Structure formats: structure tokens, C-alpha cells
């Protein structure tokens, strides 16, 4: 019995020492995110948004093009031409309005109009999105907004680029 336990311990020890490798094996994984179109489902009643988010992330930052009615459950409709601002929390494809908190809208210069009038036009050809990233050029304040979702810590970075400088 003692000899059997010794042999068993020797095999367990050898397996634990030599059975694990610290070198990574190449798995040939392909990054399929290059094929993702985040605008799919953002038209009409698809209730999805194209903004920057990560799986299981706490931040889902995206533009807001409207907030009234069932059509705007995700607060973004692809065919709209006005952006109200960018919010930091969204629910994707739920069919119910929720979240959409902390609206941020980049502006330049001094305030010359009411706070609720800071919507901006944007050309569709100046809007782009990939998983974790969204960018758009806002016509009225003349700025480019870029939204990113970082994996850790759960946060977002919103650089605002004006013709003369970078604002963070």
C-alpha cells in the first residue's frame, strides 16, 4: 500500500511539473470584430445603438438623436440628422426605454442659446463606428467627437476635437 501511494504521488508530482507549459500555443484565432457593422438594427424600430461598448461593460456610450416615443427606445435612429448629445448608459435591443443617463454635448464658444437648443446636425458620411469605438463630426459646433469604451477600468474616453485644439 505504501509503495502504491508513493508511485501515485510520483505520477501526480510529475504531471503537475511537466504537464503545464508556460509557452502560449498559437491557436490561429481570427478577430471577427472587423466584420461587425454596429449600425445594423439602428434604423426605425430596431432599438439598437451604434455607440461604443464592451461585453459586460458598465459604460455603453452612444449618440442620442431623440428621446420621445417608442421609436427611440435606444435613443438613436439611423435616419435622423440631429444629435442631441451623447449619453453614457444604454440598453441595446430591449424594446423599452431605460437608462440614457448623463447627457453630454460638446460645444464651442460662449453660450448664446437656451440649454435645450444645443442639438447639432451631422453628415452621415462623417459618422463611423466599430465595436468599442464611435466617431462623428458635428456641424453646428464644428467639432469631431470620438467615443471609446475601454475594457478595464470600465470607463469611456470622449476626446472632442475642435479645429484648433483637442479637448478631453
> Does residue 127 contact residue 42 with C-beta atoms inside 8 Å?
no
What are the distances in angstroms from CA 25 to CA 15, 17, 19, 28, 125?
19, 18, 14, 9, 42
What are the distances in angstroms from CA 161 to CA 107, 139, 147?
11, 12, 12
CATH number at residue 105: 2.70.98.10
Q: How much is the pLDDT for 79?
A: 92
**Domain that residue 67 falls in:** 35-167
Q: How much is the pLDDT for 6?
A: 61
Q: Is the entire prediction scored with pTM above 0.75?
A: no
Q: How much is the pLDDT for 168?
A: 46
Mean pLDDT by 10 residues, the chain (168 residues): 60 52 66 88 85 80 85 87 88 71 80 76 94 91 86 61 56
Would 72 be classed as within a structural domain?
yes
Number of domains in the chain: 1
Would 11 be classed as within a structural domain?
no
Q: How much is the pLDDT for 90?
A: 79
Amino acid at each position: 500500500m505504501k509503495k502504491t501511494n508513493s508511485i501515485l504521488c510520483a505520477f501526480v508530482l510529475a504531471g503537475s511539473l511537466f504537464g503545464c507549459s508556460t509557452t502560449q500555443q498559437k491557436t490561429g484565432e481570427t478577430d471577427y470584430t472587423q466584420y461587425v457593422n454596429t449600425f445594423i438594427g439602428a434604423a426605425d424600430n430596431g432599438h439598437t445603438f451604434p455607440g461604443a461598448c464592451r461585453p459586460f461593460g458598465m459604460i455603453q456610450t452612444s449618440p442620442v438623436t431623440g428621446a420621445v416615443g417608442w421609436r427611440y427606445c435606444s435613443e438613436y435612429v439611423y435616419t435622423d440628422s440631429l444629435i442631441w448629445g451623447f449619453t453614457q448608459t444604454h440598453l441595446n435591443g430591449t424594446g423599452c426605454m431605460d437608462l440614457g443617463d448623463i447627457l453630454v454635448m460638446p460645444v464651442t464658444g460662449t453660450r448664446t442659446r437656451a440649454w435645450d437648443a444645443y442639438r447639432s446636425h451631422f453628415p452621415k458620411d462623417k459618422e463611423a463606428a466599430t465595436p468599442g469605438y464611435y466617431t462623428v463630426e458635428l456641424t453646428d459646433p464644428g467639432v469631431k467627437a470620438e467615443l471609446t469604451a475601454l475594457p478595464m477600468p470600465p470607463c469611456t474616453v470622449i476626446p472632442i476635437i475642435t479645429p484648433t485644439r483637442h479637448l478631453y
